[in-house]
Structure 1
């Protein structure tokens, strides 16, 4: 039997410390030089062990002067039946929309970054919103953070003639009772969900700061108005290691 590679021995030791709690969630991982000195290893060997821990999703990659830390394994419950349905939790006083309120209910801290543009939509958006050739759409792209960690990339598309000159054009998170669409007179009365599990693009993996090899979920939700026409198409890409989805249905 071949000897265990030097990097693997260090990897297994650090993994044991993480799983036992000796290195607690959020704790700094010892620096490369410190580990090299402690274990009489080269820095190249240490980097191999740390790279494996990062690929396993156990430690962060570290950036600049910010060293690696132990990842917190705290998945978010996302109840897709309650989300945007019935008694919505949007609150103008707190500035929390329905998603943010659900995060806060779990004792977590939500934050969203929003960017709004008017664009020629891609083919899948045209199909979902039943737009004719040449029609434009309003795109509200959000990065959703939980405890200052990126959890979701959520992009909502609206027909331009529905969204222009409304609060949907604000370059900020907007929370109004009953939701924005009801507020502007175009409430959703029905939705259709589609969920895909796939590997992330390089840009998605970077934005969500997820380890190599971690899949993402893609939640596609089309909302329909009282006349049966689509009023919104939302695509949310979420880190697979940070969520569990909940459906509660009467049968």
Structure 2
């Protein structure tokens, strides 16, 4: 019992003496400099008691030697809170997850299971669970950005033109209607009011001109654009490694800055 108490006291003191930036650098690339927690040590500390720095260490898979399936570089994998397992194959590095969230304005999608995730101020990846009334649609949903659910947030960001199946006229719809299209050229099954010639609920498809504006990270799997999404993340990683871009610094207590 006394050994457990001594460990906790040492850990708390080390956390005070270690900056979040130092830990992030260590867990990203310089793993020999990081102090990893043994499984039995982590078990002694509850999630509520565990410090942010310790949670960051515990989330990094320091034993993984596989390449990140996004950037295709050999880097430590992150143990995803939604679908990750320690030592699992096909993992992803922390920086790629950060870029996924940045490109989606703060709340991204896990590239494996598609759950909504965020990265907090020191780099800990979290599943988005916040429930509330969306300030746009007024429905009880998971809130992802600015008090809005993901559908309303995406609709506000991507105000695309859609063609009505009945009258063939075009109107802007502030909702991700592309989600319900099995293919870019097919009409979706979900309806929206046509304010043009029908004055009724009809089915829609994104116009040919706007189809390319549908975000890769939210395209239906059947569109076959998942690789384009991951390729954009990969290009940014390559630019950072070549010195053309810098990793976004973590703001204290904030969240990843880019849906």
TM norm structure 1: 0.27
> Counting helix residues as a fraction of each chain, which structure ranks higher?
2
> Counting strand residues as a fraction of each chain, which structure ranks higher?
1
Which structure has more relative contact order (CA 8 Å, sep 6+)? It is 1
TM norm structure 2: 0.26
